[in-house]
Structure 1
Amino acid sequence: MAGDIHLFGIRHHGPGSARRLVEALDALKPIMVLIEGPSDASELLPMLADPEMVTPVALLTYAEDNPANASFFPFAEYSPECQATRWAVRQGAALRFIDLPASDRLGVAASEIAEEIATKADDDPISCDPIGALATAAGYDDGESWWSDVIEENPASGPVFTAVADAMTALRAEAKLLTAREAAREAHMRIEIAKSAKECDGAIAVVCGAWHVPALAERRSLAADRELLKGRPKAKIKATWAPWTAPRLARASGYGAGVVAPGWCAHLWETREGDRAALWLAKVTRVLRERGHFVSTASVIEAQRLGVALAALRERPSPGFEELREAAIACLCNGERAMWNDVAAELLVGAGVGSIPSATPLAPLLEDLQRQQKATRLKPEALERPLTLDLRSESGLMRSTLLHRLNALDVPWGRLTDAGRSRGTFRENWQLRWEPEFAVRLVENLLYGSTIMEAAASRLIEAMGKETELGALAGLVRDAMIADLPRATESGIAALETKAALTSDGQALLDALPPMADILRYGEARAGTVEHLAALMPRIVVQAALALPYAARNLDVPAAAKLRGAILTGDSAIQLAQLETEIVAKWREALTALLHDDQTTRLIAGTAARLLYEAELLAVDQTANLLARMLSPGTPVAAAAGFFEGFFEGAGQRLIHDAALRGAVDGWLLSLDDEAFTASLPLFRRVFSALDRNERRRLMDALFARNAGGAKGYRLIPDAAAIWPQHEARVIALLNAGVPR
């Protein structure tokens, strides 16, 4: 190999490595920069220096015939490869990847790679974790702390890359195993380095993982390296850039090359000068104060001093995030770890999401969408148009499934206008309209998967994992089933069963019933297993019935209105699901219990009475007696008004047809004094304003006998004529309030 080859062993996503690398490149001024990465994606590498590229991002490679077979190569702002790329673009140096092509990795079965990794970990701990081996030799408990002290957080410059190369050479001499894939990777990189050395005359910088430096520095025959690459699998691939997220850079996400604390690494990169510990604690203080916690400046000073003292006791050159975390808990969080946990994720992991330039090549989700648009014969159009689907036909079901999956990805190409509410519905009505930004949203969803089905399932599973409300979780399960996403459906049902078993909140249990009823209804129109839901919903109904009498006691106005809505929708869901008679009887018993509990909020009691009346469990005379008692003169006006609203709001038809109910209401109105009557007029307007014009006229016809002569030709019926002289002002006030007009 030519003598002007310079190897720089780095750690992926190491801010200290990135800083030292930039310093080394400035001193060397190479005319070519070679970077460890898939060689068949080199043409995309300069895009990393595009001003529109906002990290974190990932180079995405995927099999042309199977987009689900994909690999991601993430880059952060503090990744040495990212900084080397930007340096090369600024200086006009040649730039390329030199690792095995992505087609090789995508051509190897995932099971083979996993088996290779497992074998490596079991048989050769040094090659599995070389940094950990060095840390053990240096007396450290873990490799992360050792590497941070020596490289990432070491303020002194010096011959870092020479020292790393010497350390790795010693480690590789003790390593017992070199897998076939790793040997092929290093052979390919040696071949590419030799090829580049022949193409140019000048210094060449090679940026690679520290472990590979000794192997790339070895002198090997070209024939031997080519022999190692014979018979390697290949696949036709495509490559693009995709937005990435800070949490996906964390090792806890399952990313093997990830770092423990991406937020801390970003802080190390951003604070090149000054007291990093003080600046970090200032950031911690700001976040704590934003969360409403009181933190004094004196406490910040004490935390900084404690962090330095801890680092000295542990013989570390400067405080790391572990020391500063313990100092922050002690001095800023009053020793309460829960207070620190409230801000830890934001500080140590972060929530940043990258963005990619507009010139990015077509992403796999867009290609998958194009394929499905052809298969379903759905053409994207800018103008809004209706679409009616019959779910009993194969084409109708395919179209519906695609639109529901896109909605799960927040790509509302189709808006469902009427899904139907009756059991056994096989028709859906959509409004379609394609917007240009939908393509951007699909690219943003690449972090969830490279096909629409995979991405929609992953996004719903993520939402299910974060959801704390039982009703919202049931809604997500419904969305997963309607979109024909078995993996998300199974995950959601398991979470729903667990959460339902641990929930005793009547409101939450009732909120879960409507989406569960929808799931059972869609079970007739779509392929899918609903046996678990068929058994789970009755159990939740019984739980809700047991919790309802306690949940309905002594509520304020907003809480009572919210519970009333949940009771009404829950009752509709129970009817829709057509549950067993015993289960429905338990629910009706709970409604009856509300009527006999003096602590029940009157709005809720009125709602329960109405549902029992509609279920024919209260006869007309029983209902009239109940209304007369609840609306009697001795009842407080607020309580009577609440019962009145609970019973009649949204149920004006009952007054049109039931003379006994009208009589009870008339008696209550006549019993009110003038002041209470006037105060109740807004209630009457709110209750009866839901009636449309025809319903109001029919109610008027029930109160008055219509005369044949003219629009104003009404004559009072005998009962109304008897009360008119005494209560003319009240009748006029009711008419002006919209009851009825």
Structure 2
Amino acid sequence: MPGEVHLFGIRHHGPGSARRLVEALDALVPAAVLIEGPADASDLLPMLADPEMVTPVALLTYAADDPVNASFYPFADYSPEYQAARWAVRHGAQLRFIDLPASDRLGEHAAEPVDEATFLFEQDPIARDPIGVLAEAAGYADGESWWSDVIEENPSPGLIFAAVADAMSALRTETGSLSTREAAREAHMRIEIARAARDSDGPVAVVCGAWHVPALAERRSLASDRDLLKGRPKVRVKATWAPWTSPRLARASGYGAGVAAPGWYAHLWQSGDHETRDSAWLARICRVLRERGHFVSTASAIEAQRLSRALAALRGRPAPGFEELRDSAIACLCNGERAMWDDIAAELLIGSEVGAIPASTPLAPLLEDLQRQQRATRLKPEALERALTLDLRSESGLARSTLLHRLSALDVPWGRLAAAGRSRGTFRENWQLCWEPEFAVRLVENLVYGSTIAEAAGGRIVEAMQTEPDLGGLAALTRDAMIADLSLATGIGITALEEKAALTSDCGTLLAALPPMADILRYGEARAGTAEHLAALMPRIVVQAALALPYAARNLDAEAAGKLRGQILGAENAIQLAKLDPEIVAEWHGALSKLLDDAQATRIIAGVAARLLYEAELLEAEAAAILLGRMLSPGTPVADAAGFFEGFLESTGQRLIHDAPLREAVDHWLASLDEDSFTTNLPLFRRVFSVLDRSERRRLLDAVFGRGRSGAKGYRLLPGAAELWPAHQVRVLELLEKGAAQ
């Protein structure tokens, strides 16, 4: 006798549906469990019961010849399909998927555009959102709230599966004809159900979306259903499991079957007793608030629970939902401040969980793609570290570099880019290669961005671009995309750069964008990608930064001054590296010159500006000596004098060894100081020259005193030096010489 078929219409990722389904399966004890899903991936279903499988996870199917053509089927702990699969494995029931094979779905994706019937079906409001139609009929504003009240959060929902089937039957009588694909899906499921009923010696449980229940309950001839499946496109597919994340289960991520609050739905599943569900959720809110440094009393939590239940009663809901608990938490725990709630809402409602898959999982497409590219580029993964030098002018060198840069974008640092050495060319890269076992896990985790290395790297960079608030960070991401030969991401980055630059007036932000932009222009020489847009954009940003610099450099504290100093030095290097038009460079140097005469300019910034102008030969040695004397005059506050001297000479102490005019200018200023001023500034001198090692200090003293030694008496002063240098300064320099000799 064929097995009796029982249809369970569920909502994907519904904890209430999952709980009622497990109860129904326990009561029915079916011999076979059939689940809506790609039939050709049924052999992977039992892996859901593997102890090493940690939700959220997703069933990934992809075309073997075109991995970009892929589909994900996510599962959470509270997904009814997931619980049904675990029940079947636990009770030894037959288990398989019954929906159209993935080979059909992916083949359809690669085929021609949708036909008219499919287009009309997708525009039908009932077919597009049947739950929303039921909610509207019940007086609800959205389907989420109605479904939660009736099923997910209702302590006594009654016979929900029969009620859902009746409701869907009524809805389907109001809709038009099905799309070609939907008709084929339901035909395939009917065929599979009939086969399972014929072969089973006990009840058959069918777990499917609520919308399909009436169609699967219909009696159709086998021949008519097979006719609907004729001529369907097919491709060769592969399937595996991939880790998923809680944020990607949210509807806000773009996932059509997602839920509004994955964190709340996980809480509904984990908290079995509905009487304590609201108090447990409020306890979580209190814990998170306290971890953020907020004071939350137990009395406030009790009041929040009372308020949430009162709100639920006023709104006619069977129990407080996350909206009522949110409102009561804002009122009682957040002092009425919505900003406090917004600070913790994502952690509570969305979550940050990441799934894990067993070690026995079939090879994921990113790993397969990596193996293909390793063979193509002749790069063998090795556990021992080895050096690799690439010439980007060769096809093989460029291909290897591109692969390593794409992996770096995926946080898989198989190769780490080493310093280029003395060469300033753009056609050579030095890498240190070392393969670590965890890199394979990271590749699997990146499947959420794409099923090929190029697609995943591009997707990850584009996602970072969309959330990057800083112009400099955006420029760095654009540079990474261009170096990795990710044309789509590069184009998106350049467009975003142009838009953000037009809206940015902050000097530090503009300066921070110049180094990565210079790298883009520089690497454009050796890469296939082009950067014509940036050739015009970078000069514009330089001019904007030059106009803003004199105002941005005024009256800064130590931390802000240090940050701006680093940005100015980075911008100077970028401007020289990019070889911009001389007029643009002159604009930049003009802005630096203005800092020298601005009494409000922070002195360390003015010192950096003076050094850059001196190095560019726009400030002569005599003028530098006069400037030093003015900026470090006895009446100048010690902090201002120290800042200018440090900015002027920091990291350039070595230059005093070789640059006679600069050394003589400093010499002249030091010799002009009286004893009290010299002693006051000794800590400053010590800090500036501390960057010199013992050998460099000795060479500097050689240059100052002359190269002749006179045994144990130390350095022999040049003729006239004793008259030029006051006695107190000679003694100090002799002490410095002794320190250099130790």
**Shared fold, TM over 0.5:** yes
**2:588 maps to 1:587:** yes
Q: Decide whether the 8 Å contact of 2:16 with 2:269 is kept in 1.
A: yes
Q: Which moved more, 1:544-553 or 1:145-154?
A: 544-553
Identity of counterpart residues, as a percentage? Answer: 74
Q: Deviations over 1:352-398 (max 9, x none)?
A: 11111111110000000111111111111112221111111211111
Q: CA deviation at 1:283?
A: 2.1
1:5 corresponds to which letter in structure 2?
V
Q: Deviations over 1:460-493 (max 9, x none)?
A: 1111122222222211110001001111111212
**2:731 maps to 1:729:** yes
Which residue pairs with 1:136 in the alignment?
136
Q: CA deviation at 1:407?
A: 0.3
Instruction: State the secondary structure of the residue aligned to 2:445.
Output: helix
Structure 2: how far apart are the matches of 1:212 and 1:339?
A: 43
Instruction: State the secondary structure of the residue aligned to 1:174.
Output: coil
Q: Decide whether the 8 Å contact of 2:67 with 2:452 is kept in 1.
A: yes
Q: Decide whether the 8 Å contact of 2:622 with 2:665 is kept in 1.
A: no
Q: CA deviation at 1:523?
A: 1.1
Structure 2: how far apart are the matches of 1:697 and 1:510?
A: 37
Which residue pairs with 1:73 in the alignment?
73
Instruction: State the secondary structure of the residue aligned to 2:418.
Output: strand
Q: Decide whether the 8 Å contact of 2:118 with 2:178 is kept in 1.
A: no
Q: CA deviation at 1:621?
A: 1.0
1:306 corresponds to which letter in structure 2?
L
- TM-score normalised to structure 2 length: 0.95
Query: How is 1:536-551 mapped onto 2 (pairs within 5 angstroms)?
Result: 536-551=537-552
Q: CA deviation at 1:655?
A: 2.1
C-alpha distance 126-596 of structure 1, shift in aligned 2 (>3 A): same
Q: Which moved more, 1:569-578 or 1:109-118?
A: 109-118
Q: CA deviation at 1:665?
A: 3.0
Which residue pairs with 2:310 in the alignment?
309
Q: Decide whether the 8 Å contact of 2:624 with 2:665 is kept in 1.
A: no
C-alpha distance 125-298 of structure 1, shift in aligned 2 (>3 A): same
C-alpha distance 727-315 of structure 1, shift in aligned 2 (>3 A): closer
C-alpha distance 421-149 of structure 1, shift in aligned 2 (>3 A): farther
Q: CA deviation at 1:590?
A: 1.0
Query: How is 1:86-485 mapped onto 2 (pairs within 5 angstroms)?
Result: 86-109=86-109, 112=113, 118-122=119-123, 124-273=124-273, 274-419=275-420, 425-485=426-486
C-alpha distance 285-708 of structure 1, shift in aligned 2 (>3 A): closer
2:732 corresponds to which letter in structure 1?
R
C-alpha distance 145-694 of structure 1, shift in aligned 2 (>3 A): same
Structure 1: how far apart are the matches of 2:499 and 2:115?
A: 32
Q: Decide whether the 8 Å contact of 2:278 with 2:305 is kept in 1.
A: yes
C-alpha distance 187-219 of structure 1, shift in aligned 2 (>3 A): same
Structure 2: how far apart are the matches of 1:567 and 1:422?
A: 24
Structure 2: how far apart are the matches of 1:467 and 1:38?
A: 38
- TM-score normalised to structure 1 length: 0.95
Q: Decide whether the 8 Å contact of 1:277 with 1:324 is kept in 2.
A: yes
Q: CA deviation at 1:707?
A: 2.7
Q: Which moved more, 1:377-386 or 1:299-308?
A: 299-308
Query: How is 1:476-625 mapped onto 2 (pairs within 5 angstroms)?
Result: 476-625=477-626
C-alpha distance 69-402 of structure 1, shift in aligned 2 (>3 A): same
Q: CA deviation at 1:223?
A: 1.7
C-alpha distance 116-632 of structure 1, shift in aligned 2 (>3 A): farther
Q: Which moved more, 1:167-176 or 1:613-622?
A: 167-176
Structure 1: how far apart are the matches of 2:321 and 2:228?
A: 43
2:241 corresponds to which letter in structure 1?
W
1:732 corresponds to which letter in structure 2?
E
Q: CA deviation at 1:292?
A: 3.3
C-alpha distance 334-120 of structure 1, shift in aligned 2 (>3 A): farther
Instruction: State the secondary structure of the residue aligned to 2:288.
Output: helix
Q: Decide whether the 8 Å contact of 2:9 with 2:212 is kept in 1.
A: yes
Instruction: State the secondary structure of the residue aligned to 1:425.
Output: coil
Q: Decide whether the 8 Å contact of 2:63 with 2:69 is kept in 1.
A: yes
Q: Decide whether the 8 Å contact of 2:709 with 2:716 is kept in 1.
A: no
Instruction: State the secondary structure of the residue aligned to 1:415.
Output: strand
Q: CA deviation at 1:673?
A: 6.6
Structure 2: how far apart are the matches of 1:85 and 1:151?
A: 21
C-alpha distance 737-499 of structure 1, shift in aligned 2 (>3 A): farther
C-alpha distance 173-579 of structure 1, shift in aligned 2 (>3 A): same
Q: Which moved more, 1:52-61 or 1:544-553?
A: 544-553
Structure 2: how far apart are the matches of 1:669 and 1:217?
A: 98
Q: Decide whether the 8 Å contact of 1:423 with 1:577 is kept in 2.
A: no
Structure 1: how far apart are the matches of 2:130 and 2:139?
A: 14
Poorly superposed stretches of 4+, deviation over 6 Å: 420-423, 673-676, 708-713
Which residue pairs with 1:5 in the alignment?
5
2:14 corresponds to which letter in structure 1?
G
Instruction: State the secondary structure of the residue aligned to 1:98.
Output: strand
Instruction: State the secondary structure of the residue aligned to 1:716.
Output: coil
Q: Deviations over 1:604-641 (max 9, x none)?
A: 11111111111111111111111122222222222222
Structure 2: how far apart are the matches of 1:194 and 1:324?
A: 46
Structure 1: how far apart are the matches of 2:712 and 2:612?
A: 37
Instruction: State the secondary structure of the residue aligned to 2:519.
Output: helix
Q: Decide whether the 8 Å contact of 2:149 with 2:318 is kept in 1.
A: yes
Q: Decide whether the 8 Å contact of 2:104 with 2:233 is kept in 1.
A: yes
Q: CA deviation at 1:693?
A: 5.8
1:268 corresponds to which letter in structure 2?
L
Query: How is 1:638-653 mapped onto 2 (pairs within 5 angstroms)?
Result: 638-653=639-654
C-alpha distance 417-658 of structure 1, shift in aligned 2 (>3 A): closer
Q: Decide whether the 8 Å contact of 1:165 with 1:210 is kept in 2.
A: yes
Instruction: State the secondary structure of the residue aligned to 1:715.
Output: coil
Q: Deviations over 1:656-707 (max 9, x none)?
A: 3444543443454456676765564454343224345664444222212223
Structure 2: how far apart are the matches of 1:416 and 1:541?
A: 28
Q: Which moved more, 1:308-317 or 1:602-611?
A: 308-317
Which residue pairs with 2:36 in the alignment?
36
C-alpha distance 666-635 of structure 1, shift in aligned 2 (>3 A): farther
Structure 1: how far apart are the matches of 2:144 and 2:119?
A: 21
Q: CA deviation at 1:157?
A: 4.7
Structure 2: how far apart are the matches of 1:708 and 1:337?
A: 75
Which residue pairs with 2:663 in the alignment?
662
Instruction: State the secondary structure of the residue aligned to 1:418.
Output: coil
Structure 2: how far apart are the matches of 1:361 and 1:113?
A: 33
Q: Which moved more, 1:125-134 or 1:697-706?
A: 697-706
Instruction: State the secondary structure of the residue aligned to 2:412.
Output: coil
Q: Deviations over 1:246-280 (max 9, x none)?
A: 11111121111111111111111111113322322
Q: Deviations over 1:307-364 (max 9, x none)?
A: 2233222222122222322333333334433333222222221221111111111000
Q: CA deviation at 1:237?
A: 0.8
Q: Which moved more, 1:640-649 or 1:550-559?
A: 550-559
Q: CA deviation at 1:642?
A: 1.6
